Amino acid sequence: MSASAPLLEELERAGEELRDSTGQVRGTARVTASVAYGQTVLVPLMPALHEAHPGLEVDLLLSDAVFDLVSQRIDIALRLVPAVDSSLVGMQLRPVRFRVCASPAYLRQHGRPRRPADLAQCDCLRFPLPGYRTQWSFRGLEGGTESVALRGWLVMSTALALHRAAIDGLGPALLGDWLIDADLAAGRLVDLFPEHEVTATNFDSAVWLLYASREHVPRRVRAFVDFMKGRLGQLVVGTLPPALGARHRRPTSNLCRRQSRRAAGKPPSRPGRCAAPFPPSTSPPTAARETARRGAPPSRRSARLRRR
């Protein structure tokens, strides 16, 4: 580090404090995320972020490389990992659930695997990272874990390429819920094992928001962090932001309830397939449906007129 570096840092901090003293969010937030997560999740949220903070400029660095936040002068990183570097300040925004999915066209041609072990006979779409290429691990409702060795003729280095290949019917793929929820809702992909948690490495993956220090967090950084906490935190309770195009996430809330019961040593509340919670506007409550079927009861005035 050069002798002038501390002086430059002091000047930058003084400039930040001067901007913050105006009470407005101004300046540039340098943010990094993976290419797939950035394109799928972050970019659709940018219009709402700009509307909320029109004075904030965002420098979005999308790369599958892991940057050093301090040396690269990056304010915020969004990473999909089970754990984070202890030298960074981190908050978990939401858990990530991976699913094995395939297109309806693939299933019509090759048949649907009935159990995880059947995948050993399929040409699976694989990712070249350690673990992702050789086996997937499954955990059922009762907590038992099963690992399945993989084979397949196509290996691709990005989640977006695997996603496209799965939709095009080239084979089953292991993909994160944030990438495929809209496709599951639209019927472009099918979740092959909805009652299982699946991973190639660790069952506890999550979206983490990281920054380098809590000693001085500029207003521009706090504004971005608070916005992402508000928007991406909605995914935990089973509702995607409208910009992501899916009305509701079917399995996540049920999965979280099953995990909570398992952690407490309780049996599953009920066996069988996950049931989708009704979106608020799509299905009236049971009593209202029964009233609509039978017809509303007559008012007192209409009853008196009939008696006359």
Burial of 99 from C-beta contacts in 10 A (0-12 / 13-18 / 19+): buried
Tracing tokens 């398992």 back to the chain, one arrives at 262
**Reported pTM:** 0.69
How buried is 36 (Cβ within 10 angstroms: 0-12 exposed, 13-18 middle, 19+ buried)? buried
* pLDDT in the model for residue 201: 87
Q: Is 79 helix (H, G, I), strand (E, B) or coil?
A: strand
* CB-based contacts of 24, cutoff 8 Å, min separation 6: 55, 219
| 3-class state of residue 181 by DSSP | helix
Half-sphere exposure of 98 (CA within 13 A, CB side): 24
Q: Given pLDDT bands bounded at 50, 70 and 90, which one contains residue 141? A: confident
Neighbours of 82 (CB within 10 A): 13
H or E stretch at 280 = none
Distance CA 254, CA 274 (A): 7
For residue 102 the two structure tokens come to: 């395939």
More confident residue, 160 or 17: 160
Tokens 């984070």: give the residue: 84
Q: What is the pLDDT of residues 61-109, one digit of tens each?
A: 999 998 999 889 999 999 998 877 778 888 899 999 999 999 999 999 9
Query: H or E segment at 136?
Result: strand 135-139
Q: Mind listing the pLDDT tens digit for each residue in 173-222?
A: 999 999 999 999 999 999 999 999 999 988 989 999 998 876 778 999 99
Q: What is the pLDDT of residues 16-63, one digit of tens each?
A: 555 555 567 899 999 999 999 999 999 999 999 999 999 999 999 999
- In the chain the domains, ranked by start, together with CATH numbers, are 11-93+205-237 (3.40.190.10), 98-199 (3.40.190.290)
